[in-house]
Amino acid sequence: MDRRRFLQALGGVACSAAAHPLMTTVTLAGSDGGQPLGDHRLVVVILRGAMDGLDVVRPIGDAAFASYRPTLAAGPAPDLNGYFALHPTLEGLMPLWHAGQLGFVHATSTPYRDARSHFDGQDILEAGTGLDVPDSAVRDGWLNRMLQAMPGLRAETAYAIGSEALPLLAGSATVRNWTPEQKLELSAQSQLLLEHIYHDDALFRDSAAEAFALTAAGGLAQMSDGMSPVSANRNLADTDRLVDFATARLREDTRIAAFSLAGWDSHRNQSGSISLPLRRLDRVVQRMATGLGPDVWGKTLLLAVTEFGRTVRENGSKGTDHGTGGAMLLAGGALKGGRVLGQWPGIADADLYEGRDLLPTTDVRSWAAWAMRGMYGMDRNLLEGAVFPGLIMGDDPGLLL
């Protein structure tokens, strides 16, 4: 039994663990002499916990939106194109939007449907398969399969401390991992519960003891009954370390970087709970743009993706529940941005998926595939066959300059 299957068996704990900041890892890969990846940099950010795309990129031009979300849709938001508006917490990204270095894809999803499990959704997102089941025969991640298809690559030197590689980059192509200093804090009752569960299994018992020991010296977030952050400043400082580490290597030989940002599960009090994850995402984009400088940022594309979206209607606790169609964030100097891409399906009752969710009209994998083709010249048949098995990429959306 692997970590995800074990945590999944814990029921309610699994929902929090799938979105918990402890799962943050940064993985990098480079190439000898800059070949065959050339000078382009691709950064993939997994937004764990199911980011609410309808809150981040708000369809304020549809009158139904305010009625579906009497709390979450309230207040002014920066206008993007007259129909969509940006969440106010991301207002600092508007200069990038006006410069054509920020964009979004709306109503997009993996092929995953209906069960709406964080773990299954993340497995399928990172495996990049077209199979609508979590237990796929494909055991490696789509970004690793991309590296496998490009001979001459090598791993950039990096460090792993008490954490695992992203499934996105798991596979036979060699990559290295590094994790910023973190701390796992549980309530005394929760820790006793886990110790009891782990007691008769040496693997999980020893791993848990090691995790508590490794995280005793530094902190990121508190996993209490409410999963509330102990320190926003500490979260942001951790984000800075993660971005600075990746940025320093992207300025050198590294061409591929991937990491995750957690905390997007917003069942209750979404206006408050989504604030810190949005601040971290804003921090990633702005700090990376500044740190890379115009020359390297001009050759960079960042894709931020999540396992699924959230319900169109806010719930009784002023949050949203697990949904289907969501949104992607795109950034970078290589991007032809200033656009909300995708086929907007509308949010009238008759337009909703299963009467509750934003209907997905595009496949997340197709956007990633077109990014790879545009940046690295990868063969379309290779992308649709080996990197994303079963994918039909469709027409070129013109992501890049």
Distance between CA atoms of residues 376 and 342, nearest Å: 23
Calculate mean pLDDT across residues 330-340: 98
Q: Which of 32-46, 63-77, 185-199 has the lowest mean pLDDT?
A: 185-199
pTM above 0.85, yes or no: no
User: How many Cα atoms occupy the beta-carbon half-sphere of 292 within 13 Å?
Assistant: 32
Pair of tokens at residue 210: 């090691």
Identity of the residue numbered 80: L
Identity of the residue numbered 204: F
pLDDT at 170: 74
pLDDT at 228: 44
> Higher model confidence: residue 159 or residue 2?
2
pLDDT surpasses 90 at 186? no
| pLDDT tens readout for residues 7-21 | 444 444 445 444 444
pLDDT surpasses 90 at 314? yes
The band of 315, judged by pLDDT with boundaries at 50, 70 and 90, is very high
Distance between CA atoms of residues 259 and 172, nearest Å: 19
Calculate mean pLDDT across residues 154-182: 54
The DSSP code sequence of 28-40 is EEEEGGGTTTTT-
Distance between CA atoms of residues 252 and 232, nearest Å: 31
Distance between CA atoms of residues 121 and 49, nearest Å: 10
Is residue 125 within 8 Å of 367, Cβ to Cβ? no
| All domains of the chain in start order, with CATH | 3-180+232-387 (3.40.720)
Backbone angles phi, psi at 210, to 5 degrees: -65, -40
3-state DSSP percent of the chain in helix, strand and coil, to 5:
40, 15, 45
In terms of DSSP bridges, do strands 221-223 and 184-186 run parallel, antiparallel, or are they unpaired? Answer: parallel
| pLDDT tens readout for residues 191-239 | 666 666 666 666 566 556 655 554 443 333 333 333 344 457 777 888 8
